[in-house]
Amino acid sequence: MTDFRKYPPFEEWHDWTELDAKAWPDKVEKNYTLVPTTCFNCEAGCGLVTYFDRDTDEIVKIEGNPEHPASRGRNCAKGPATINQVYDPERILYPLKRVGERGSGDWERITWDQALDEIGARIRKAISEDRNNEIMYHVGRPGEEGYTDRVLKAWGVDGHNSHTNICSSNARIGYQSWMGHDRPSSDFANAKVIFLISAHLESGHYFNPHAQRIVEAKAAGAKVICVDPRLSNTGAKADFWLPTWPGTEPFLLLAIARLLIESETWNESFVKRWTNWETYLEQTRPDLPVEWESVRGAMLDEYAEYTPEAAEQKTGIDTDTIREIAELIGEHPTKFASHNWRAAGAGNMGGWQVARCLFFLNVLTGSVATKGGTAGNGMNKFKPAAPIGAPGITSWNELEWPKEFPLSYHEMSILLPHFLNEGRGKLDTYFSRVYNPIWTNPDGFTWMEALKDESKVECHVALTPTWSETSWFADYVLPMGVAAERHDIVSYETHAAKWISFRQSVFRRYAEIKGGTDGESADLGPDARSYDYNPGEVWEENEFWIDLSWRIDPDGSMGIRQWFESEEYPGKPVTIDEYYAKTFAENVPGLADAAAAAGQSPLEYMRDRSAFEVPADPYEPYERAVDPSAVEGCLKDESGVFRKPGTPGTWSGDLDDLDDLKLSPLGDGSPAIEIDGEIKEGFPTPSKKLELFSTTLAEWGWPEYATPKWIPSHVHWEDMDLAGNERILLPTFRIPTLIHTRSANSKWLNEISHRHPLWLHPEDAEMLEIEENGLVRITTRIGHFVIQAWRTEGIRPGVVAASHHMGRWRLEEDKARSWGAGKASITNDGTTWKLKREHGNEPYKSDDEDTERIWWKDTGVHQNATFCVQPDPISGMQCWHQRVRVTPAEPGDEYGDVVVDTAKSHEAYLDWMSNTRPSTNGLRRPFWYARPLKPAATAYRLPTD
Ligand code: SF4
């Protein structure tokens, strides 16, 4: 059999010769230099290798990096398609400044110097006037490990805003409420039962590294269970496809949990050792003695209603299948690997209980960070400390962390325009960074209104590799690199191991290699910038932030510049080489030794390989023995937890006693727990155990959800008019070959994927009188959109679905073109907005002759604009699923029409805000909760007015 896993030997990467495939049948040799980097097209951070033609100095192809421990040389289609993004004829190559009205689309080219001077002066003024928190950095896909946090700390700005609450807030709080860690890290490769709540195998989080391991496990006999109302390719490959009613997944999971407990196929010894069952009994069953023998009965009582028969009625999955799956899971203790990230978690109010109930099965089977189980992200992810620190921040930004959501995971970014409308604050300088909220977020027209209003957003700087709907409404559009043009460190919990990967400007690295002598790379010197080597003047954020910080504080008097100065070249900004050389040499265990063994510096080692597996034992870290010296001076409480003085674990509760309180990035600072006479690491939760009963949820206003429970969704089927034309819309699924915004600038990806059908079951189609390929009007609470139907039995009747990866548009015929954005017009009358698609993709002339060969038309429908904000009152997650009316298109309706009334958006916002329960204990948020850019404890005190 042909081995397709052959890669050029690493030793020959600097000088590699192979036959030119395009010259076949002639045998023509081509000489390349291979430079590795890290993919930036989704969160998995797979390794890539770029092939530089040494004659033309151009990249001719991009393939997988076999040195990368997670992706192991393999990629999905989006990785190699990075080459399309690099050479896209419509990419932004130079810094631009708006010259007309905001949104008019008129720009002038400026220099980086001008951009830095002008933006730096604004920020300097804001900080000088104590308006630090009017500076906001709003990140889409971060794809890096905390570099920007360092910058914001140095500026003293609590301005980190993320896309998390349109993505994963629900999953995070579900996992975090068990184990402190807010993401799952599944050891699929060694599992016997794999339980996926999503189309995970083909398009989930970290899906290429995960997919290859799921397939390996399946080949070794593991059973795959896929819960998804839609028959995705994952469902088709699974041993069990369970098309539950949306939002009823926790009910199904609790029915399985109950069967495990009832049949005594649970891992009793694990649950007894590692859950806070004593607290569970004390809080839920004060009538019972606090002894282990009470637990089984208490849990069977608590989950009495979750019978297989009730689960069949509620979820639509038959009783026999539920029993069969429970038996299968019970047969494989410690080997149950599960995963939920978006999907049901992101779709439903209360969707955070999907992750909480799913991980309950891991707890019951003792499959927590075991070989073949599911760990927490912090157990496998490796985040090197920044070698040049900066002091922590001491303020709190209420535009991101409002009092109504004390438990949100993380910033309430979907509500930002509503907060601006309410006058809760304004923004002096708003950086959108690889983020497109007008298109990606719900309620896009409310975003557009806010971004057009210069009294609310005084200056908008878009840091972006591509044109987007949002960058169109910026004042500065600054071109930032794609995977081949920027420096970042990346690490994710893709499997049972720790690794880091280095993203680098391969153009700059190629210049070093080509300019070197005697096998040594050339030194580009302290004044080198990546834009000197990248296409046009495309830059990267690392150097941009360094140089911008110098412009903010040119003489160092503000105390900012010191964090960005070079030790190697005094009086100059720190160089990228210096920063990463220090990181790799000092803060990555094992890397200096590996580099020395290879005869290289750690930086050269990483520039040549781009990835490194950090030596670690990934399994059962909570069982690790802790040296008694680590708990010296601690107080041991009655449950055996060692509490450190000066941390939240020993805090008096006095709000005036916060000045010296030390906060940890995660957990409450308690270093260990004594179990059966041994001091163990435990979990980063207040109890140091897995929290069957979450005291935090109970104490912060949600006692009814302190244990795993089902919360009826806002789109629960029993509450809907299914006999009429009401249906549940699933708008969240991914297309495996597309990214949100950036894939529109990849010709290959758009040629592969360019259809946007509404999935509709034939029974529904008949009932609703919708023809195959017929136009459908989907009416939401705030407006409607018009899409084309696709009759398929691959979806549960009562549910319709459309991917969130389609529907891109542009406003000018000849500007911001791409391979996937249609030409549209927008009209506005009061609070009513109409987006009309004028045409889809069409061929056009450009520097790339392939633009004249565009044969596909469909660009899809911008459905997200018709969704109001629906924040889960606990996690803050946008509950994406929609209660909609599905009707045949009306006279005058055209494909792609979008109509929205932002007054209705505001009403909906107020309704959802009324579900919240603001903090009543004087604090903004639990100290032990993770938070990007965690401030000092004093900032947690709520104002008393
Ligand atoms: S899964 Fe695909 S898009 Fe994501 S990092 Fe890997 S190659 Fe890139």
Confidence of residue 4 (pLDDT cuts 50, 70, 90): low
From ligand 1's centre to the CA of 85, what distance in Å?
A: 14
**pLDDT over 90 percentage in the chain:** 95
Q: Rounded to the nearest 10 degrees, how much is the dihedral formed by the CA atoms of 469, 472, 474, 475?
A: 170
From ligand 1's centre to the CA of 496, what distance in Å?
A: 19
Q: What angle do CA 879, 807, 815 make, to 5 degrees?
A: 130
From ligand 1's centre to the CA of 822, what distance in Å?
A: 26
Contact 120, 551 (CB under 8 A): yes
- The pLDDT score that the predictor gives to residue 511 is 97
Q: Is the pLDDT of residue 68 over 50?
A: yes
Those residues whose C-beta lies under 8 Å from the C-beta of residue 448, and which sit 6 or more positions away, are: 103, 438, 473, 833
Residue 44 Cα: closest atom of ligand 1: 5
Confidence of residue 519 (pLDDT cuts 50, 70, 90): confident
Is 777's C-beta closer than 6 angstroms to any atom of ligand 1? no
Q: Is the pLDDT of residue 1 over 70?
A: no
Contact 14, 464 (CB under 8 A): no
φ/ψ bin of 394: left (φ > 0), alpha (ψ from -120 to 50), beta (otherwise): alpha
Q: Whose CA is nearest to atom 8 of ligand 1?
A: 79
Q: Whose CA is nearest to atom 4 of ligand 1?
A: 42
Is 207's C-beta closer than 6 angstroms to any atom of ligand 1? yes
- The pLDDT score that the predictor gives to residue 315 is 98
- The pLDDT score that the predictor gives to residue 141 is 83
Q: Whose CA is nearest to atom 6 of ligand 1?
A: 46
Q: Which two tokens stand for residue 765?
A: 């189609």
Confidence of residue 944 (pLDDT cuts 50, 70, 90): confident
pLDDT digits (tens, 9 = 90+) for 585-597: 999 999 999 999 9
Residue 404: name the closest of 412, 394, 414, 416 by CA.
412
Confidence of residue 494 (pLDDT cuts 50, 70, 90): very high
Residue 78 Cα: closest atom of ligand 1: 3
Pocket test for ligand 1, best of 42, 43, 805 (most atoms within 8 A of CB): 42
Q: Is the pLDDT of residue 721 over 80?
A: yes
From ligand 1's centre to the CA of 812, what distance in Å?
A: 31
pLDDT digits (tens, 9 = 90+) for 7-20: 999 999 999 999 99
Is 62's C-beta closer than 6 angstroms to any atom of ligand 1? no
- The pLDDT score that the predictor gives to residue 203 is 84
Q: Is the pLDDT of residue 652 over 90?
A: yes
Q: Which residue has the tokens 């109302």?
A: 229
When computed from its CA atoms, the radius of gyration of the chain, rounded to whole angstroms, is 27
Contact 266, 251 (CB under 8 A): no
* Alpha-carbon distances of 882 from 142, 210, 289, 346, rounded to whole Å: 28, 29, 45, 12
Is 41's C-beta closer than 6 angstroms to any atom of ligand 1? yes
From ligand 1's centre to the CA of 803, what distance in Å?
A: 19
Contact 613, 498 (CB under 8 A): yes
Q: Is the pLDDT of residue 729 over 50?
A: yes
Contact 673, 688 (CB under 8 A): yes
CA–CA distance, 919 with 925 (Å, rounded to integer): 8
pLDDT digits (tens, 9 = 90+) for 684-712: 999 999 999 999 999 999 999 999 999 99
Residue 71 Cα: closest atom of ligand 1: 6
Residue 421: name the closest of 438, 397, 399 by CA.
399
pLDDT digits (tens, 9 = 90+) for 609-625: 999 999 999 999 999 99
Is 79's C-beta closer than 6 angstroms to any atom of ligand 1? yes
- The pLDDT score that the predictor gives to residue 3 is 53
pLDDT digits (tens, 9 = 90+) for 815-852: 999 999 999 999 999 999 999 999 999 999 999 999 99
Contact 228, 796 (CB under 8 A): no
Is 75's C-beta closer than 6 angstroms to any atom of ligand 1? yes
pLDDT digits (tens, 9 = 90+) for 327-383: 999 999 999 999 999 899 999 999 999 999 999 999 999 999 999 999 999 999 999
For 73-134, list the strands marked E by DSSP. 96-98, 107-109
Is 80's C-beta closer than 6 angstroms to any atom of ligand 1? no
pLDDT digits (tens, 9 = 90+) for 57-67: 999 999 999 99
From ligand 1's centre to the CA of 68, what distance in Å?
A: 12
- The pLDDT score that the predictor gives to residue 389 is 83
Is 74's C-beta closer than 6 angstroms to any atom of ligand 1? no
Residue 576: name the closest of 499, 512, 498, 514 by CA.
512
DSSP summary character for residue 504: -
From ligand 1's centre to the CA of 660, what distance in Å?
A: 44
Residue 48 Cα: closest atom of ligand 1: 7
Is 739's C-beta closer than 6 angstroms to any atom of ligand 1? no
Residue 54 φ/ψ, nearest 5 degrees:
-75, -15
The whole-number average pLDDT for the span 385-407 is 94
Number of Cβ within a 10 Å radius of residue 24: 9
Q: Is 923 helix (H, G, I), strand (E, B) or coil?
A: strand
Q: Whose CA is nearest to atom 1 of ligand 1?
A: 208
Residue 41 Cα: closest atom of ligand 1: 3
- The pLDDT score that the predictor gives to residue 57 is 97
Pocket test for ligand 1, best of 37, 46, 341 (most atoms within 8 A of CB): 46
Q: Is the pLDDT of residue 945 over 80?
A: no
Q: Is the pLDDT of residue 2 over 50?
A: no
Average pLDDT, the chain: 96
- The pLDDT score that the predictor gives to residue 5 is 60
For 216-305, list the strands marked E by DSSP. 223-227, 240-242
CA–CA distance, 204 with 621 (Å, rounded to integer): 26
Q: Is 391 helix (H, G, I), strand (E, B) or coil?
A: coil
Angle between helices 277-284 and 295-302 (to 10 degrees): 60
From ligand 1's centre to the CA of 736, what distance in Å?
A: 10
